Structure 1
Amino acid sequence: MRLPVYHGRISKAETEDLLASSGKDGSFLIRDSETVPGTYCLCVLNRTFVHTYRISEISGNWSVQTSKGVLPRFFSSVENLIVTYEKPGQGTVVPLLHPVEYKCYKIRSQNEDLQEEREYMEILGI
């Protein structure tokens, strides 16, 4: 998945820290699910609590498990899913208002004949 809000394999605790540091209701990010391989988690901050919704792909269409009683909807891309849930009343506790993005920098350092490549993560929009 190549989206600015996708954080890969970060833990639930790391997710909560990132969203809490944004301090804004409606802050959100996407991460890999820790419990269901091949699915993702849409994590949204509301007050001091992080709500997690599972995103999965079925036959090329994307769906998110939202509030009870809300019928599942399918999207051709995760981008379309996000755009829909930016609006109020779509099934998430609050609209997706503040994307918590990341940016990676690759830095090369040389030690005689050893060349290391390190990846650093900078959280944007916080």
Structure 2
Amino acid sequence: MARRAKRSDPGGHEPSQRQLRAGELVRHALTDIMAREEFRDPALQGVNVTIGEVRTSPDLRHAHVFCSPLGVTDEAAQDELAKALNRASAYIRGRLGKQIEMKFTPQLHFIADHSYDEGAYMDSLFNRPEVKRDLD
């Protein structure tokens, strides 16, 4: 019987419990930082940021942060926010290191979170009369 080689694809498996806990710890701390800090970047001034999810790498040295501006559905504005947060990531990482107790403070990679838009679109599809008729 032939044995299959293990896949070394990092995206091909579920995150461990440790990664999930670390991601939630980082998410809560980032939410607190975003609410309290004043940023010099004009693109970040006065913007309420929603942190939807934080996915950490298996070694916990990198964190992908899914973010969006609160109440803004424009994809260009969401992408611009992610770019601005990536510019300020070193400053945010420094603040994060003071708030969390981890061996390493992860490198932060901000990604625009479009899942809220997709959810609103799916909701509008399910509320169409022809779809409701088929569901009943």
Q: TM-score, normalised by structure 2?
A: 0.25
| TM value normalised by structure 1 | 0.26
Larger Rg: 2
Q: Which has the higher strand share?
A: 1
